[in-house]
Chains A and B, each alone.
Chain A
Amino acid sequence: MTVRDRLADIEVVGLVVIGGFLGANARYGIGLLYPGLTGTFVANVTGSFVLGFVVYEAMYTDYLTDRGRLLVSTGFISSYTTYSTFAYETVAVEPLLGLLNVGASYSFGFAGVVLGRWVALRIRGGSRE
Chain B
Amino acid sequence: MSESILLVGVGGAVGALGRYTVATIVEGDRFPLSTFLVNVVGSFLLGLVLFSDLGESVRLFVGVGVCGAFTTFSTFSVDTVRLVEDGHVWTAVVYALGNILVSVAAIGVAWFLTG
Contacts from A to B (Cβ < 8 Å): 12-13, 16-25, 27-28, 31, 43-44, 47-48, 50-52, 55, 73-75, 77-88, 90-91, 102, 105-106, 109-110, 112-114, 117
The contact of A79 among B15, B63, B81, by CB within 8 Å, is B15
Q: How far in angstroms is the closest Cβ of chain A from B100?
A: 6
Q: Is the interface of B mostly helix, strand, loop or mixed?
A: helix
Q: Which residues of A contact B8 (CB under 8 A)?
A: 24-25, 28
Known: A16-B16, A20-B16, A88-B107. Is A80-B74 also a contact (CB below 8 A)?
A: yes
The contact of A84 among B16, B42, B78, by CB within 8 Å, is B42
Is B12 touching A25 in the complex (CB atoms < 8 A)?
Answer: yes
Interface size classification for chain B: 35 or more
The contact of A81 among B23, B74, B100, B108, by CB within 8 Å, is B74
Is B72 touching A79 in the complex (CB atoms < 8 A)?
Answer: yes
